[in-house]
Amino acid sequence: MTEWSVTEPTKLAPADPVTRLQIRVVNGTVNVVGTDESSARVEITEIEGPPLTVKQDGSALIVGYDDLQWKNILKWLDRKEYRRRVVVSVAVPAGIDVEVGVVGAEAVVTGIRGRTEVRGVTGDTTLLGLSGPVRAESVSGSLEAQSVTGALRVNSVTGDVTVIEGAGASVRAETVSGDMVIDLDTAGLEGPPADIRLSSVSGEVAIRLPHPADARVEASTTSGSVSNAFEDLRVGGQWGAKSVTGTLGAGRGTLKATTVSGSIALLRRPEPDGDTDSTPSPAPSATGKVL
Comparing 215 with 274, which gets the higher pLDDT?
215
Domain locations in the chain as residue ranges: 1-114, 142-291
- Strands 20-35 and 97-110 turn out to be parallel
Could you report the per-residue pLDDT of 159-179, keeping only the tens digit for each? 999 999 988 889 999 999 999
Give the pLDDT confidence score for residue 126 in this predicted structure: 97
Report how far residue 145's alpha carbon sits from residue 118's, in angstroms, rounded to the nearest whole number: 12
Instruction: Please choose, from the candidates 166, 288, 152, 272, the residue with its C-alpha nearest in 3D space to the C-alpha of residue 224.
Output: 288
Are the beta carbons of 36 and 80 closer than 8 angstroms?
no
Tell me the three state secondary structure of residue 70.
helix
Vertex 132, ends 44 and 91: CA angle to 5°? 20
Give the pLDDT confidence score for residue 280 in this predicted structure: 44
Give the pLDDT confidence score for residue 225 in this predicted structure: 93
Could you report the per-residue pLDDT of 90-128, keeping only the tens digit for each? 999 999 999 999 988 999 999 999 999 999 888 899 999
Cα distances (angstroms) measured from residue 283 to each of 143, 184, 196, 208, 286: 15, 10, 17, 8, 10
User: What is the pLDDT averaged over residues 61-75?
Assistant: 73
Q: What is the pTM of this model?
A: 0.87
Are the beta carbons of 125 and 136 closer than 8 angstroms?
yes
- Strands 195-200 and 233-236 turn out to be unpaired
H/E element, 243 = strand 242-248
Q: What confidence category does residue 70 fall into, taking pLDDT thresholds of 50, 70 and 90?
A: low
Q: What confidence category does residue 281 fall into, taking pLDDT thresholds of 50, 70 and 90?
A: very low
Could you report the per-residue pLDDT of 188-216, keeping only the tens digit for each? 566 788 899 999 999 999 999 987 888 99
Backbone angles phi, psi at 39, to 5 degrees: -110, 165
Residue count (the chain): 291
Vertex 206, ends 224 and 174: CA angle to 5°? 85
Give the pLDDT confidence score for residue 83 in this predicted structure: 78
Query: Which alpha helices (H) appear in the chain, and where do they start and end?
Result: none
Tell me the pLDDT of the chain averaged across its residues. Answer: 88
Asked whether the predicted pLDDT for residue 82 surpasses 90, the reply is: no
